[in-house]
Amino acid sequence: MRRLRSQKWWMFGHKDERQTPIVPNGNISSTALIFVIAIMTFLACLTLGAVTVVRDSASSWQLQIAREATIQIRPDEELDMEAALDKVQVAASGFSGVRDARIVDKEATARLLEPWLGAGLDIDALPVPRLVIITIDPASPPDFAAMRAAIKLAVPQAVLEDHRNWVDRLVTMARTTVYFGIVVLSLVLVATALAIIFATRGAMSGNGHIIEVLHFVGAEGKFIANEFSRRFFMTGVKGALAGGLAALALFIAVGVWSAANRSTPEADQAAALFGNFAIGWAGYTGVLAIVILVALLTAETTRLTVLRHLKGLDRSNPE
Amino acid sequence: MIRFENVGLRYGMGPEILKDVSFHVRPKSFQFLTGPSGAGKTTLLRLLFLALKPTRGLITAFGKDISTITNAELPFLRRRVGVVFQDFRLLDHLTTYENVALPLRVRGKEEASYRKDVVELLKWVGLGDRIHVLPPVLSGGEKQRAAIARALIDQPEILLADEPTGNVDPPLARRLLRLFMELNRSGTSVVIATHDLTLMDQIDARRMILNGGRLEIHD
């Protein structure tokens, strides 16, 4: 096929681009290199996607909990519970940063206790604490200390729980998870870089005779390095694209699966942990960055390998 | 053109392969480099081609002391020297035409500007009908001629040939010798490394004989 193409440009006087490339297109080692690059890129993208999902989930948990606070009113014989609930609701609503203060009514309270006390519960017959749920603006949260004091003043039996301890622990856990993910991602990226460097050098070792011939017919080192790095850049692009696209396909497939099975217990479990399992624009940009980085790394490794080989050829000291 | 003064060379801590070698390859000259196998002919050619550094002594190429030449200058100096390797070193994925045109291609010349010259040269070395053939299909003699054509395509000032008749039969060896002589008449200095006495006996040319690392010159 190449022979025919070669004859064709000869006969019709086509331009230089139709000449056979100085560095041959592909052999077994370059096919193996494409596979190595694809697999390592896939793993790196997968790790990046996992870190993105964990980070997004952690901040989403944090946001959900930081958005709510609870006022609990303990029952007391001398306390008119309904009046106390109204007082607390009014007192809480007056603070800036409070979007809504909602009384958990008797039916809802009974439903909350249903797993322990059974159905058909008469709330009035039991000394059950009652709740007021406060929805908070996470961008400008209210002054909890002042709110706590105001609520205590309005109803001494009322206690404000702003979930601060829980949120702080969650933030620490989320940050630790993300830091751990970043460390794992860094290790995977370093392993990817090393695997690509060694695989590229292995593939290059079969081309030593081409470097030598070009060198001895008077090609400049820069020319030889460019010829090889251009060819291997394309190898890198092919492998990295294959790995990156495979990782994206996996993310999309898992996303579609979790959307389609949203009502099943397994999907509920996964959604509770990972939200909607979408890597978002940050994830897609990261995958693109990894693909570009891997292709550039392949080209640069090739360039340096060629230059090192040439250094050995240039007026070398006899060994 | 290329001058050696008291050049010595040893590999690592081994014995000296070349000892106090001094000679001058003059412009438009023709010489044979000969000696028994392992005498250091190929090593001397590598020194002439600036692929090795001498352990001691002075080598001057085209008026420049090679110890002062930077690596960036070397390709430009090498372009003034054509080399025919003993093992041809043709690239198997390129056609005969592309192999011969390679020195011009790496210099960044447009294919259209050298196409005619390459075809003429291929006809001159008797490969006019093998232009589009890949090297694995060529015979030993054809490969040899393709390698010679590649060395000559950019009209070097000096041609170095390592055992150019080692893989060919006597009639083809005579034909190749005539080719080298014709080239020399057109102004190129020629250095042929060979141990083929029959070949050397065919013309009256300077003989540089390497023996035991020392060089004897018979003008």
Torsion-angle region of A245 (φ positive above 0: left; ψ -120 to 50: alpha; else: beta)? alpha
Residues facing residue B61 across a β-bridge? B2, B64
Kindly indicate the confidence band of residue B184, based on its pLDDT and cuts at 50, 70 and 90: very high
Are the beta carbons of A219 and B75 separated by less than 8 Å? yes
Q: Is the pLDDT of residue A265 over 70?
A: no
CA distance A303 to A311: 12
Q: Residue B27 has what pLDDT?
A: 92
A182-191, A259-268, B156-165: segment of lowest average pLDDT: A259-268
Q: Is the pLDDT of residue A7 over 80?
A: no
Q: Which residues of A touch B112 (CB under 8 A)?
A: 13, 15
- Name the DSSP class of A26: -
Q: Is the pLDDT of residue B114 over 80?
A: yes
Q: Which residues of B touch A13 (CB under 8 A)?
A: 112
Are the beta carbons of B53 and A22 separated by less than 8 Å? no
And the tokens for B131? 């232009």
Are the beta carbons of B10 and A219 separated by less than 8 Å? no
Which residue of chain A is at minimal alpha-carbon distance from B44?
A318
pLDDT in tens, B128-138: 999 999 999 99
Question: In this structure, how many other beta carbons lie within 10 angstroms of the beta carbon of residue B104?
Answer: 21
Question: For residue A196, which of A285, A289, A282, A305 has the smallest C-alpha distance?
Answer: A305
Q: Which residues of B touch A (CB under 8 A)?
A: 9-12, 17, 43, 49-53, 55, 66, 71-72, 74-76, 78-79, 83, 85, 89-91, 93-95, 97-98, 102-103, 105-108, 110-112, 131-132, 134, 150, 154
Which residue of chain A is at minimal alpha-carbon distance from B50?
A315
pLDDT in tens, A17-48: 468 888 887 666 778 888 989 999 999 898 88
Are the beta carbons of B12 and A319 separated by less than 8 Å? yes
pLDDT in tens, B22-72: 999 999 999 999 988 888 888 899 899 888 889 999 999 998 898 888 888
Which of A19, A313, A314 is facing B111, going by the closest CB pair? Answer: A19
Q: Is the pLDDT of residue A167 over 50?
A: yes
How far does the CA of residue B128 sit from the closest CA of chain A (Å)?
Answer: 14
Q: Residue A15 has what pLDDT?
A: 42
Q: What are phi and psi of B8, to 5 degrees?
A: -125, 150
Better pLDDT: A107 or B97: B97
ipTM for this prediction: 0.87
Are the beta carbons of A22 and B55 separated by less than 8 Å? no
Q: Among positive and negative, which fits the CA dihedral B198, B44, B72, A231?
A: positive
- State the Cα torsion A281-A287-A290-A296 to the nearest 10°: -90
